[in-house]
Amino acid sequence: MRPREEEEVRIRPTIIATAPTDGGGDVVGFVTADLTAAGGEALVVFRGLEDAREYQERTGKSTPGEGYKIIVGLSAGALADVLDTLGAPLVAMPGLWTGGDGEVDVFDAGDFVAMLEESRRG
């Protein structure tokens, strides 16, 4: 179902990351997409926990059994830090505004972080 244009879409920026196998607490990897045609690697960001879980269930990828965990509700600053660490110029958000199965919205990383900051002020 597509949101109407006048509807406000709220997100809790959510990513899927790997944890070290030695039991340490630091994250060592993130779910990304190779979008070379669009400008490079993209960090995959979900609207929230439900979307991230649905991705894992539908694709069978990046599951807890493979050492991945879902991190919900990143601040704009934390997301900017992840993007900077990755050197990812893009954010890929599966089906947020398009609502279509398998569709992905792609954003410039800096623009996406700025939108999050603005939405939190607003």
| Residue 102 predicted with pLDDT over 80 | no
| Reported pTM | 0.80
pLDDT of res. 8: 59
Structure tokens that stand for 63 in this block: 């599951």
Tell me the pLDDT band of 17, cut-offs 50, 70 and 90: very high
Exposed (0-12), middle (13-18) or buried (19+): which is 62, by Cβ within 10 Å?
buried
39 and 85 Cβ atoms separated by less than 8 Å:
no
Query: Domain limits of the chain?
Result: 15-121
